[in-house]
Structure 1
Amino acid sequence: MRRHPALIAALAWLAAGCADAQPAPPALVQEAAITWRAGDRAVASLSGLALDPDGNRFVAVNDKGFFVTGQLERTEGRLTGVSLLASGPLLDPRGASVRRYDVDAEGVTLGPDGRLHISFEANHRVWAYADLAGPADPLPIPAAFRALQNNSGLEALFTGPDGAIHAIPERSGELDRPFPVYRFDGTRWDVAFTVPRRPPHLVTGADLGPDGRLYLLERHWNGLLSFSSRIRSFRINPDGLRDELILLESPLGTYDNLEGISVWRDPQGRIRVTVISDDNNSILQRTEIVEFRLDAPQPPRPILRGDTTPPTQ
């Protein structure tokens, strides 16, 4: 068989380039950001967010022990405004408004039984609500919850692919210690898996996307009312999390104190990520709703080294 040295060299050159080719990673692209001023005391310090599957109606909870429900207004699918539907105090199991150390609601998720589950810190716990205006049904409190740091408890709450409620604390206790992910099996809590900690950001919210991936919202505060936000996503495997992706990491000051996250799919089939900020009830901050579109990975292309002309014999 006759060999063609020039052709062999050209193919080797192209193969060397393709060996380095990698698909562009997915990334979040901001599509809208609005400030919500409702004139209602419940629309402040919002920390947890849950949207319905079509991304229109939502439930949010705040640090002061209130819930709000609302409607996102859209023009050709793009977020343009928000309207308040209802608000009120969260109630304890006796039907009384939460008070003192019971008020700090942080996360919210819809359970498989149709009840909303809400996580609280300070008095670290998860309560379920068949009706947001009705009394709470408390879930068991394991010893691990009692050992959580003050003001660094169950920030993130999500419903896993198995329908179980999962909770993640804001801090893990050490910079190099992964965040535990607690899972409630209907009777008891245990640690289902862990999330790698990547300082300096801390956990503020989580949601399971319609693509089956876990989306984790994190925040870094520089101590001067300036925040950096990060969103990572993971594939959930039986043996833990895999395929960690950083979809967003904003410079300090880009967004306010983003704490609530909800992930959904729009009518065009695209993944959308909606987040909401906790303004700490401060005149120096704002209640901000930001919406992102997940750009899918692009197919790989050869990475050309040096001269773009194949070598000749």
Structure 2
Amino acid sequence: MSGSRHRPLILAFLISTLALPSYGKASVEYVGTFVWSLPEADFGGFSGIEISDDGSEFHILSDRATIRWGRVDRDPAGRIRGMQMSGRARLQDSQGRMLQPGWQGDSEGLAMADGGGFWVSFEGLDRVARYDDPDQPAIRIPVPDAFEELPVNSGLEALAADQDGTLYAVPELMSQATNSFPVWRFRRGEWDQPFSLPAASKWQSVGADIGPDGRLYLLERYFRGILGFQSRVRRFNLAEDGVSDEEVLLESTTLQYDNLEGISAWSDGQGIRITMVSDDNFLPIQRTELVEYRILN
């Protein structure tokens, strides 16, 4: 039988293979999981996390407009053995009013600023705010018209900042028109939308960070109803006008972890460490997990 009739199929297969994200470039190893709980009514719902450069301190954001910070206790192998809080605050709006859970207080993304302070992205009333002090009013950042067009409960979920203080905000749902996640960038007082990230319909963008290697790390979630959650992490080389070298670092199995929503990338001296935190939705059947992996190259 002539092979010519199969050439279109072979060509289609090769094209689809080239279009797939790259697997296996990085060596990734599991470090550990720590389950955290405190007997406080507002403990939980964590959607953003930042770990200090040496892995010893944390800031963690709840989706009910509260932020906590403190020390990470680790064993000699670097695994988390405790989270010691040193402070917490309820976020305020720019007028000094305490934000309440819901439309105005649905805080989702967290990014630390060099020299102190942090930024928070909000879903619902989609916006990004700056805080020089967690106990002081928010500093307003302009809201572009595009934010007002984001779907309800599917808006700004992921937020990252580079060393120059440039912000990158990513919505939860991909654009159906382009099959991609639009990325909004804020620098020098203005927003633009310079590029998008390739996306697949089942995955939602839930967290982002820019690592010490300058690459963009994206945490995604796939909710499978009663079957639970799956998570994956991709990273990209980040340039002025786009991303390249898309790489899938890990993809969990169903029920392997809870609802991972926040991610922080830092260096532990042996490679890039990624720390992820789960949102328990304040439900007794879920839990707050901190999950860590090390990327060796």
Does the aligned pair in 2 maintain the 1:34–1:289 contact within 8 Å? Answer: yes
- Counterpart of 1:251 in structure 2 is 253
Q: How many residues align?
A: 274
The 5 A counterparts of 1:143-182 are: 143-160=145-162, 162-174=164-176, 177-182=179-184
The one-letter amino acid of 1:294's match is I
CA distance in 2, matches of 1:79, 1:54: 13
- Counterpart of 2:56 in structure 1 is 56
**Structure 1 segments unaligned to the other structure (5+ residues):** 1-21, 297-313
- Counterpart of 1:287 in structure 2 is 288
Percentage of identical aligned residues: 39
CA distance in 2, matches of 1:24, 1:255: 22
- Counterpart of 1:70 in structure 2 is 70
The one-letter amino acid of 1:284's match is I
Does the aligned pair in 1 maintain the 2:47–2:109 contact within 8 Å? Answer: yes
Which secondary structure does the structure 2 equivalent of 1:242 belong to? strand
Q: CA deviation at 1:39?
A: 1.4
Max radius of gyration: which structure? Answer: 1
TM-score, scaled to structure 1: 0.83
- Counterpart of 2:14 in structure 1 is none
Aligned with 1:107 (options 106, 109, 113): 109
Does the aligned pair in 2 maintain the 1:175–1:199 contact within 8 Å? Answer: no
The one-letter amino acid of 1:82's match is M
CA distance in 2, matches of 1:70, 1:138: 26
Q: CA deviation at 1:142?
A: 0.7
Q: 1:107 to 1:136 in 2, by over 3 A?
A: same
Q: CA deviation at 1:90?
A: 0.7
CA distance in 1, matches of 2:223, 2:178: 19
Q: 1:250 to 1:281 in 2, by over 3 A?
A: same
Does the aligned pair in 1 maintain the 2:114–2:163 contact within 8 Å? Answer: no
- Counterpart of 1:11 in structure 2 is none
Aligned with 1:125 (options 124, 127, 144): 127
- Counterpart of 2:11 in structure 1 is none
The one-letter amino acid of 2:57's match is R
CA distance in 2, matches of 1:185, 1:25: 32
- Counterpart of 1:7 in structure 2 is none
Q: CA deviation at 1:176?
A: 5.0
CA distance in 2, matches of 1:64, 1:235: 32
Which secondary structure does the structure 2 equivalent of 1:224 belong to? helix
TM-score, scaled to structure 2: 0.88
CA distance in 2, matches of 1:35, 1:290: 9
Relative contact order, higher structure (CA 8 A, sep 6+): 1
Superposed CA offset, 1:151-190 (max 9, x none): 1111110013543111000012318521111011132211
Superposed CA offset, 1:274-311 (max 9, x none): 00000000001001001111133xxxxxxxxxxxxxxx
Q: CA deviation at 1:86?
A: 1.5
| Aligned structure 1 segments of 4 or more residues deviating by more than 2 angstroms | 40-43, 111-115, 160-163
The one-letter amino acid of 2:291's match is V
**Structure 2 segments unaligned to the other structure (5+ residues):** 1-21
CA distance in 2, matches of 1:38, 1:132: 21
Q: CA deviation at 1:198?
A: 2.2
Does the aligned pair in 2 maintain the 1:278–1:287 contact within 8 Å? Answer: yes
After TM superposition, the structure 1 stretch with the greater mean CA deviation from structure 2, 71-80 or 226-235, is 71-80
Measured on the aligned residues, the alpha-carbon RMSD in Å equals 1.8
CA distance in 1, matches of 2:27, 2:105: 35
Which secondary structure does the structure 1 equivalent of 2:136 belong to? coil
The one-letter amino acid of 2:133's match is D
Which secondary structure does the structure 2 equivalent of 1:102 belong to? coil
